[in-house]
Structure 1
Amino acid sequence: MVRLLLAENMGSWWWSLLLLHASVVVLSVAAFFLEFVRKIGCKHSLERSAASDAFFEDPNSLNKVPCPTIFDPAEKYISLIIPAFNEEHRLPGALVETMNYLQQRSAADKSFTYEVLIVDDGSTDKTSKVAFDFVRKYKIDRVRVILLGRNHGKGEAIRKGMLHSRGELLLMLDADGATKVTDLEKLECQIHMLAKKNKEIKSLSGASDDSSQKLSDIEVAAFGSRAHLEKQALATRKWYRNFLMKGFHLVVLLAAGPGIRDTQCGFKMFTRAAAQKLFTNIRLKRWCFDVELVYLCKHLNIPMIEVSVNWSEIPGSKVRLTSIIHMLFELVLIRLGYGLGIWKVYT
C-alpha cells in the first residue's frame, strides 16, 4: 500500500514537473516572438524617420543621380520594379522582353512614359553588371539600378524600389520573367476601372469634387493571380508539395483573412497613392511581405482586385522546404504584430 502511494506521488510529481517544463517552453517561445515583433517595429520606426541618401549611378556620365521619393509628384506614367538576387542568367531575357514591350507601346502612345528600376538585393554574381549594361543601352532616365549592398530579402528590395519610383502606376514583377510583361495591361485596365468607380462613388456621396483628381492620387491595388492554374498544378506536383501549399493557404487565410486567393504571385500593381501608404507601413522583408500587403490593403481600406495572369515555371526557383518554415514564421509575426497592436499602421 505504501509503495502504491509512493508510486502515485512520484507519478503526480513527474506530471507536475513535465507541465512546468512545458509552461516554461511555451512562455519562452511567446517571449521570443514578442521580442522579435517589437524589434521589427522599432527598426521600422527608425527607417520611417531616417533621411534617404540613396542615389542612382549613371555609367554613361559617371554622375550620381539623386533618388526621387514616392511623395514627389509623378514624372512617369508607369514604373516597373524588378527585385534581383543572383539573377545574372535569368534577368537578361526578362529585361529584353520587358524593354521591347515598353518601347513598342511608347512608340505607339507618346503619353506612355516609363521607367524600369532594377533593385540588386546584394547579389554575389554578375547581376549588377547585367543591370548596368541595360542602363548604358537605354539611358538612366528609363532604366535605373539600386544597389542594396547586402541581401535583405525580396520584400525589402521591392519596398526600396517603390519608395524611389516616379510612376503614376507602380508594377512589381519578378526577374525570371515567369509572368508575361504584356499582362500588365490586364492589371492596368482593372486599376482604371476601380479608380473610375471610386471617383463616381465619391462624387455621388458629395464627399469632394473629384473631376480633376489624377490617377496617381486614387488608392487602388491590383494583384496578379495564378489561382486559375491551380487545378493543373495540383495534377503535376508531388503530393507533399500540394499538402504544403494547402496548409500554407490555410495559414495565410488565418493571418490576412479572405479576399485574395493567390497572395504570392510576384506581379502586383499599385497607384502612387496606394504605394505611399502600403510601402511606408510594410515591415516584412522576405517571404510573406505579399501577405502583409493584403492585410494592409484591408486595414487601410484600399480597394484591391485579383486578376488572372499568364504564368510559367522558370527553372532556378529559390523556394526551398526551409522557405516554407520561414514563411510560417513570418505569418505568425503578422498575426502578433498587428493583432496585438505592436505594429502601428500609419495613414
Structure 2
Amino acid sequence: MGLLWPIVEFIVVIALVFALGLGAAIAFEAFRRRFNHAHLEAHPIFEDPSSLKQVPSPYVFDPAEKYISLIIPAFNEEHRLPGALDETMNYLQQRAAKDKSFSYEVLIVDDGSADGTKRVAFDLVREHTVDNVRVILLGRNHGKGEAIRKGMLHSRGELLLMLDADGATKVTDLEKLENQIHAVAKKELHFGDSAASDTSSRISDIPIAAFGSRAHLEEKALSTRKWYRNFLMKGFHLVVLLTAGPGIRDTQCGFKMFTRAAARKLFTNIRLKRWCFDVELVYLCKRFCIPMIEISVNWSEIPGSKVNPLSIPNMLWEMALMSVGYRTGMWKIRT
C-alpha cells in the first residue's frame, strides 16, 4: 500500500501536466488562428497551358459569370481523378448541349500533391479549355478544408458545388441539391409558379446551403466498412452533436452545394483546414441563419480513402480548436 500511493500520485501529476499542456496548446493555436486573412490573401493565378497566358482570377464577391462551379480538392489523386472527371465532364457537356443557358466551370485544387495530379489536371485544361476547367496549385499540403476554401473563394458560379476527387457520389446527384436550393429560394423570395423561371437569375443572392447525405446508407455502411471507420463515424457524430449541435446527420459527406451569397459568408470566415471544416460550416450556417437542407445522395466507397486511424487525433484537435475559438470569442465572425 505504501508503494501504491506514490505511483498513483505520479500518474495523477503526469495526467494533470498533460492536460494543462494540451489545454495550453489548444488555447495558443486557437489564438493564433483568431484572424481569418482571406481578404488579405493574394489571388491565385490561373494559367492557360495551351497559350501559357495568365487568366484573371475572380473572387467570390465579384458577380457570378457561370451558373455552376464544381470545386474538387485533390491530394495525390493521379489515379482516381481521371475517371471521376471524365464522368463529370461528360455530364456537364451533355447538360450544356441540351440547355444553352447552362454554363459551368470545374476548379481542381491541387493540395500539394507529390504525384502526377498536377499533370492530370492541366491535361484536362488543355482538353476542355481554361474557361471550363481551371487549376489552383497550393504548393504544399494544407488540408482538404483549405483546398475547398480556396476553390470557393475564386469560383465564378451562382451555385458552388464541392465534390471529392474519387467520384464516390454520382455527379448527376447535384440536380437533387440544385432543385432543393431553388425550392427554398422560391419560398424565400415568395415566388409564384409563373416566376419560377426567374429564380436562377437571383439564386446567387440568397444564402442557402445544401448538404449531400449518406445517413440513409448508415446501416449498410456499418456492415461493410472497416472497423476503425465505423468507430470513427460513431464517435465523430457524438462530438459533432456536442460541438455544433443537431441539424445535419451526415456532416462529412464531400458533396455540398452553396449559393454564392452563402459562400461569401461561410468561406471568408472558416478557419479549420482539414477534416473538420465541414462541422465548422454547419456551425457558421447556424450563426448566419443560413437555411440548411440535407439531401440523400447515391454514394459508394472507393478504394484509396485518405481517412485512417491517424485521422482521429487530428479531428479531435480541430474540434477542440473550434470549440475554444468560438466559445471564448477569440474567433470573430465577419459579417
Q: Residue 211 and residue 328 in structure 1: after superposition, are their counterparts in 2 closer, same or farther (change >3 A)?
A: closer
Q: Deviations over 1:144-193 (max 9, x none)?
A: 01111111111111100000000000000000100000000000000001
Aligned equivalent of 1:322: 310
Distance 2:306 2:200 in 1: 45
Aligned equivalent of 2:26: 33
Q: Deviations over 1:305-340 (max 9, x none)?
A: 000000011111111100122111111111111111
Distance 1:165 1:200 in 2: 28
Relative contact order (alpha carbons < 8 A, sep ≥ 6): 1 or 2 greater? 2
Distance 1:176 1:258 in 2: 28
Match of 1:165 among 132, 151, 155: 155
Counterpart residue identity of residue 33, structure 1: I
Who wins on radius of gyration, i.e. which is larger? 1
TM-score for both structures, normalised by structure 2: 0.93
Aligned equivalent of 2:56: 66
Give aligned pairs, total: 330
1:132 equivalenced with 2:125 (yes/no): no
Q: Residue 17 and residue 294 in structure 1: after superposition, are their counterparts in 2 closer, same or farther (change >3 A)?
A: same
Do the aligned partners of 2:78 and 2:117 also contact (CA within 8 Å) in 1?
Answer: yes
Q: Deviations over 1:221-244 (max 9, x none)?
A: 000000000011112234554233
Aligned equivalent of 1:339: 327
Per the alignment, in what secondary structure is the counterpart of residue 82 of structure 1? strand
Q: Residue 239 and residue 149 in structure 1: after superposition, are their counterparts in 2 closer, same or farther (change >3 A)?
A: closer
Counterpart residue identity of residue 109, structure 1: D
Aligned equivalent of 2:195: none
Aligned equivalent of 1:154: 144
Distance 2:131 2:50 in 1: 12
Q: Deviations over 1:130-153 (max 9, x none)?
A: 111111111111110111111111
Gaps of 5+ in 2: 193-197
Q: Deviations over 1:185-236 (max 9, x none)?
A: 00000000111111129x9xxxxxx999811000000000000000111122
1:53 Cα deviation after fit: 3.7
1:78 equivalenced with 2:68 (yes/no): yes
Deviates more, 1:134-143 or 1:25-34: 25-34
Per the alignment, in what secondary structure is the counterpart of residue 307 of structure 1? strand
Distance 2:78 2:126 in 1: 16
Gaps of 5+ in 1: 204-209
**Percent identical:** 70
Per the alignment, in what secondary structure is the counterpart of residue 190 of structure 2? helix
Counterpart residue identity of residue 32, structure 1: A
Distance 2:188 2:5 in 1: 65
Q: Deviations over 1:229-287 (max 9, x none)?
A: 00111122345542332111101111111010100100000000000000000001111
Aligned equivalent of 1:183: 173
Calculate the aligned-residue CA RMSD, in Å: 2.3
Aligned equivalent of 1:119: 109
TM-score for both structures, normalised by structure 1: 0.89
Aligned equivalent of 1:216: 204
Distance 2:13 2:127 in 1: 66
Distance 2:310 2:12 in 1: 30
Counterpart residue identity of residue 316, structure 2: L
Do the aligned partners of 2:208 and 2:262 also contact (CA within 8 Å) in 1?
Answer: yes
Counterpart residue identity of residue 294, structure 2: E
Counterpart residue identity of residue 314, structure 1: I
Aligned equivalent of 1:308: 296
Aligned equivalent of 1:98: 88
Counterpart residue identity of residue 222, structure 2: L
1:255 equivalenced with 2:243 (yes/no): yes
Distance 1:17 1:85 in 2: 44
